[in-house]
């Protein structure tokens, strides 16, 4: 079982931090050598989706990306995660923001959606948590419509010793997978049939955008 599904404390501590940009920014800089503004900027992609778009947010965590929706924006927004604690936080966040969200328990490597259903998938800070991220990317790609996009970010090895040690430590407690390189991220995307439009490193965080 994923450490995330089992540990309430990890879910609450992580989500508390990432929901607060003023806290995430120094934490991201110190721990991962990254500029978290890139991630918050990418979240705004959601607000540019045309009316009627279907958006998949996986893993949604506590609903970080919900802030990307504009008030009254006509979207079918599906938020999926494996952790019951995270799912209830997403529900609370949707209620706080007044956004309509379908919240679904799901394993990202076995999504309960048909083929070609979504116009956009956002996947923030999730792939590095998985034992088989390539399977997750394949599964996300299956659920995207032709021409639809996947955007997100993931932590990778190779930025520095401190970051690689942190990846190893989180792996040992079951919160991260074994750790991968940015080249592997590129391979997961292209092997899943996606065209890589962006792959940009900021410290140990790889930001990606790809089109099916």
Q: Does 77 bind ligand SAM (CB under 6 A)?
A: no
Is residue 162 within 8 A of residue 183, CB to CB? The reply is: no
User: Exposure of 39 by Cβ count < 10 A (0-12 exposed, 13-18 middle, 19+ buried)?
Assistant: buried
Minimal distance, residue 194 CB to ligand SAM, in Å: 19
Residue whose CB is less far from ligand SAM, 103 or 130: 130
Is residue 126 within 8 A of residue 188, CB to CB? The reply is: no
Residue whose CB is less far from ligand SAM, 18 or 156: 18
Name every residue whose Cβ is closer than 8 Å to that of residue 193 and which is 6 or more positions away in sequence. Answer: 141, 212
Q: Binders of ligand SAM among 120-159, rule CB under 6 A?
A: 124-126, 129-130
Residue whose CB is less far from ligand SAM, 60 or 182: 60
Q: Which residue among 18, 79, 134, 148 contacts ligand SAM (CB under 6 A)?
A: 18
Q: Does 87 bind ligand SAM (CB under 6 A)?
A: no
Report the 10 Å Cβ neighbour count for 99.
20
Q: Does 36 bind ligand SAM (CB under 6 A)?
A: no
């Amino acid at each position: 079982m994923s450490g995330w599904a089992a540990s309430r404390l990890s879910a609450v501590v992580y989500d508390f931090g990432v929901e607060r940009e003023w806290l995430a920014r120094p934490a991201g800089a110190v721990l991962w050598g990254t500029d978290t503004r890139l991630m918050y900027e990418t979240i705004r992609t959601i607000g540019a989706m045309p009316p009627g778009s279907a958006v998949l947010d996986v893993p949604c965590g506590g609903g970080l990306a919900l802030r990307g929706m504009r008030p009254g924006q006509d979207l079918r927004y599906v938020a999926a995660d494996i952790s019951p604690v995270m799912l209830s936080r997403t529900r609370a966040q949707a209620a706080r923001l007044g956004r309509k969200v379908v919240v679904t328990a799901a394993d990202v490597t076995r999504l309960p959606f048909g083929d070609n259903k979504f116009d956009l998938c956002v996947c923030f800070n999730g792939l590095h948590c998985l034992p088989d991220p390539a399977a997750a990317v394949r599964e996300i790609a299956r659920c995207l419509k032709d021409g639809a996009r996947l955007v997100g970010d993931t932590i990778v090895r190779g930025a520095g010793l401190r970051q690689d040690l942190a990846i190893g430590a989180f792996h040992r407690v079951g919160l991260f997978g074994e750790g991968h390189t940015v080249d592997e991220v590129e391979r997961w995307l292209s092997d899943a049939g996606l065209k890589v439009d962006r792959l940009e490193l900021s410290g140990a965080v790889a930001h990606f955008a790809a089109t099916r």
